[in-house]
Structure 1
Amino acid sequence: MGRQTRWIAAVGAIGTAAVLVWWTTTANGAQPEAATPAAQVQQQGVVSEPETTTPEAPEAPDVSEGYAPPPGSVPSEQPPAGNQTPAKPNPPADSGAGAPKGVTTSALKKVKLSAMGEAVADSEGFLLYRFDKDTAKPPKSNCAGECAKKWPPVLAQGKPTLEGVDPSLVGTVKRSDGTEQVTLAGWPLYRFAGDPKPGAWKGQGLQGVWFVVAPDGKRNVSCLPKGVTPPQS
């Protein structure tokens, strides 16, 4: 009976001490710490992972609003300077390419026209002209370029056959393009591109400097168009 009494007394003392501690704590205003959300979740048996947020990709710039890539970001389409083929230079304007070559003749013939009298024709029967801006001593042609298109020079084709023309009056002169032009008494001879057929003489007296040539190399002024004054020499 003595041991049981002592055990009961000890238990009662411990209980009394516990009550005193609780009362003291409550009286001082201490509150038990609240469980953290994570602890509460763990207490409920569920563990949640933190949410992850994927950053959104930036929008592509609108090229219509003036956006341009930074210099050097776009490769140039120009080939390296060392690989470029140099452009071929254009031929000079006065190179003589495409220059009129004139007409060739194998004969000079004296012909007689009803309205004009004696004149000189080539092997095809076209009348020949002389140009007052040329010179006979020494022989020199001053008709080239556009002039030679309207007045093709008569070029030598070997030694021409002569009919009614003095051989001593016939010669040639070298033109600026290297061709040989037939002369009569030193005057270079020409056709007129406007003559439509053999025997025509539409070039007579044009500009007051073009005239049908006579067999002696002089101008034939027997018949001149209206308004053309015969030259004085």
Structure 2
Amino acid sequence: MKSFLLPSCLVLALSALACGTALAAAPVKTSGGMLVNQDGMTLYTFDNDAAGSGKSACNGPCATLWPPVMAEADAKPEGDMTIVTRDDGARQWAYKGKPVYLYKSDMKPGDATGDNFRNIWHVVKP
């Protein structure tokens, strides 16, 4: 009988699938020198958010134009990505302590039409 050694990451992935759980992907990645979500949409920070405050200053109509990048209830901070709690109790991803957002007018992956909007919204560059 032959035995095969599987790479540990494959073993973990197969174990997670067998148990009915999914492995959480990192919430962001780098593309074109900027941070994007898993769909390739550009992430932004807002100058009115204080790094490390644990809060977002973009709520109500602001959050309609600049949708927050939400974190699942069981999400855990990873590296430079942390989690803040919004005014409504929801959880939002933050990069180096600053909440991150999408821009409603970005239509396709790679769009960065919100960069320097009103000189207070900026593309996140790692």
Normalising by the smaller structure, the TM-score range is 0.7 to 0.9
- Rg larger for: 1
User: What is the aligned partner in structure 1 of residue 11 from structure 2?
Assistant: none
Structure-2 separation of matches of 1:137 and 1:196: 30
How far 1:106 moved relative to its partner?
A: 5.8
User: What is the aligned partner in structure 2 of residue 200 from structure 1?
Assistant: 111
Q: 1:177-216 maps to which residues of 2 (within 5 A)?
A: 177-215=88-126
Q: How many residues align?
A: 100
> Any idea what SS the aligned residue of 1:156 has?
coil
User: What is the aligned partner in structure 2 of residue 35 from structure 1?
Assistant: none
The gaps in structure 2 that reach 5 residues or longer are: 1-24
Instruction: Compare 130-139 and 190-199 and name the one that shifted more.
Output: 130-139
| Alignment TM-score, normalising by the size of structure 1 | 0.41
Cα shift readout 1:69-115 (whole Å, capped 9, x = no counterpart): xxxxxxxxxxxxxxxxxxxxxxxxxxxxxxxxxxxx96210112xxx
Structure-1 separation of matches of 2:27 and 2:38: 5
Larger helix proportion of the pair: 1
Identity, % of aligned pairs? 36
Change (3 A) 1:168 1:106: closer
Q: Give the partner amino acid of 2:61.
A: E
> Any idea what SS the aligned residue of 2:118 has?
helix
Q: 1:93-104 maps to which residues of 2 (within 5 A)?
A: none
**Are 1:136 and 2:47 matched, yes or no?**
no
Structure-2 separation of matches of 1:140 and 1:149: 17
User: What is the aligned partner in structure 2 of residue 66 from structure 1?
Assistant: none
Q: Give the partner amino acid of 1:207.
A: R
User: What is the aligned partner in structure 2 of residue 175 from structure 1?
Assistant: 86
Cα shift readout 1:51-81 (whole Å, capped 9, x = no counterpart): xxxxxxxxxxxxxxxxxxxxxxxxxxxxxxx
**8 Å contact from structure 1 (residues 153, 190) kept in 2:** yes
Structure-2 separation of matches of 1:121 and 1:108: 6
| Alignment TM-score, normalising by the size of structure 2 | 0.74
How far 1:140 moved relative to its partner?
A: 1.9
2:31 to 77, 97, 111: 111
Structure-1 separation of matches of 2:61 and 2:53: 24
Q: Considering only aligned residues, what root-mean-square deviation do their CA atoms show, in Å?
A: 1.7
Higher relative contact order (CA 8 A, sep 6+): 2
> Any idea what SS the aligned residue of 2:57 has?
coil
Q: 1:1-233 maps to which residues of 2 (within 5 A)?
A: 107-112=27-32, 118-157=33-72, 158-159=74-75, 167-215=78-126
